[in-house]
Amino acid sequence: MPYLFTSESVSEGHPDKVADQISDALIDNFLAFDPSSKVACETLVTTGQVVLAGEIKTDTYLDVQKITRDVIRKIGYTKSEYMFEANSCGIFSALHDQSADINQGVDRVVDSQDFESLANAQGAGDQGMMFGYATNETDNYMPLPLDLAHAILREMSVIRNNEIELMPYLRPDAKSQVTIEYSDDDQPIRIDTIVVSTQHDDFADDATMLAKIREDIINVVIPRVKSAQKAELQGLFDGDITYYINPTGKFVIGGPHGDTGLTGRKIIVDTYGGKGAHGGGAFSGKDPSKVDRSAAYATRHIAKNLVAAGLCDQVLVQVSYAIGVAKPCGLYVNTYGTAKIDMHDGVIAEKIAQLFDMRPYAIEQRLKLRNPIYSETAAYGHMGRKNEIVTKTFGSNGQTKQVEVELFTWEKLDFVDKVKAAFGL
């Protein structure tokens, strides 16, 4: 029987995403100047105020106020009427040293510097379970409802920042939601509902404003999103779609003034939009010794390579850890009955555990996670993104440093041939 499935996204100006971007900008700056930094940074944003709190172990010093203001400015909070503005907001820092009790299980001193010794010495930064998911319903192996929800807000961000004349009233805060009807064999049939709520200037009477925003979302933004899809997905836009555009009415008061933001409150937006599963741990503000982040990336890497290799149509991969212990407690695989080989999911999991070293140090090395690559993850999802090499510039204590880094390494399809060989595909 056909069914409906919904996912949501939020823009870079959403209060929780402002907090995520500040936390990850701090991570990047610490790693740029001291790649061994251990950081757990939480951010709170509210009317005219930013609070930074967390634990840090590093050999570098940063101007955290400047970094924070730069992030807020880049997002677009640059006007006093927003009641949260880059140059004038207060910034309170309560960052302090990391607990030695936690660090002792993560950074053990070893005599040898060979890979095995280092991999066995570095324990997981916390206990917990992490999940990765992939599906072949989109080219980037992401669930379609989330992919489209992200795409709508990315188009609005492009317009707000680069094509202002198209929708000059847009403000940074926005949310989207897409509901897809699927067939009973899990194939997308049509788009049922699209919801968009966007912050905006107070530019006319309420009825005129809402009518204009609705017209522009449906006639400007949605056609651009549709045209960017592959041909077989473009047809999903041709049916009778229900639109809810700013359904509560005017949305002038927004951002951190309208709603307090906290790091890590959008973990479903960050991952798979509710498909698969989530272990509960946030990503932003954590260095890669925290397996909440690194192992979630590693399981996505596994899942994507399994589907791309043709092993299955969709797959969920789980890994779990004990704090301070390098070897995972277990690896679980669920192919939802879509496996193309005559093999139980438990046997598939055993083979995968032999292909992918899931010790935290091995994950860091394989995915190059000790580099300043995290600011780009903090809005529009950590998964399904473009793997590319870029040069980033950082400044600290009057010094400028350029670093060439590879972004979204967990999206690479570099294990496809190994998977095919291991399973005889």
Distance CA 354, CA 358 (A): 9
Q: Where are the beta strands (DSSP E) in 264-412?
A: 314-321, 330-334, 388-396, 399-407
Domains 3-10+145-253 and 128-136+290-423 share a fold: yes
∠ CA 63-174-212, rounded to 5°: 135
In the chain, what are the domain boundaries?
A: 3-10+145-253, 128-136+290-423
Residue positions forming the annotated binding site for Mg(2+):
16
Closest alpha carbon to 325 in 299, 358, 283, 280:
358
The confidence score (pLDDT) of residue 111 equals 61
Distance CA 358, CA 366 (A): 10
Asked if residues 77 and 258 have their Cβ atoms less than 8 Å apart, the reply is no
State both tokens at 43: 């951010």
User: What is the DSSP code string of 117-147?
Assistant: HHHHH--BSS-EEEEEEEETTSTTS--HHHH
Closest alpha carbon to 283 in 112, 90, 39, 13:
39
Strands 38-46 and 188-200: unpaired
Class of domain 3-10+145-253: alpha beta
Asked if residues 256 and 44 have their Cβ atoms less than 8 Å apart, the reply is no
In a 3-state reduction of DSSP, which class is residue 109? coil
The confidence score (pLDDT) of residue 109 equals 58
pTM: 0.96
The confidence score (pLDDT) of residue 107 equals 65
* CB burial string 376-397: b at 16+ within 10 A, e below: bbbbbbbbbbeeeeeebebbbe
Distance CA 41, CA 22 (A): 9
The confidence score (pLDDT) of residue 125 equals 85
Distance CA 352, CA 158 (A): 40
The confidence score (pLDDT) of residue 105 equals 54
Residue positions forming the annotated binding site for K(+):
42
Residue positions forming the annotated binding site:
14, 16, 42, 55, 98, 173-175, 250-251, 259, 265-266, 282, 286, 290
Class of domain 128-136+290-423: alpha beta
The confidence score (pLDDT) of residue 97 equals 82
Asked if residues 197 and 247 have their Cβ atoms less than 8 Å apart, the reply is yes
Residue positions forming the annotated binding site for ATP:
14, 173-175, 250-251, 259, 265-266, 282, 286
pLDDT in tens, the chain (425 residues): 899 999 999 999 999 999 999 999 999 999 999 999 999 999 999 999 999 999 999 999 899 999 999 999 999 999 999 999 999 999 999 998 866 555 555 666 566 678 888 888 898 988 999 999 999 999 999 999 999 999 999 999 999 999 999 999 999 999 999 999 999 989 999 999 999 999 999 999 999 999 999 999 999 999 999 999 999 899 999 989 999 999 999 999 999 999 999 999 999 999 999 999 999 999 999 999 999 999 999 999 999 999 999 999 999 999 999 999 999 999 999 999 999 999 999 999 999 999 999 999 999 999 999 999 999 999 999 999 999 999 999 987 778 899 999 999 999 999 999 999 999 99
**Is residue 182 within a helix (H) or strand (E), and if so which, with residue range?**
strand 170-182
CA 110 and chain centroid, separation: 34
Residue positions forming the annotated binding site for L-methionine:
55, 98, 259, 290
Asked if residues 270 and 283 have their Cβ atoms less than 8 Å apart, the reply is yes
Distance CA 17, CA 312 (A): 33
The confidence score (pLDDT) of residue 349 equals 98
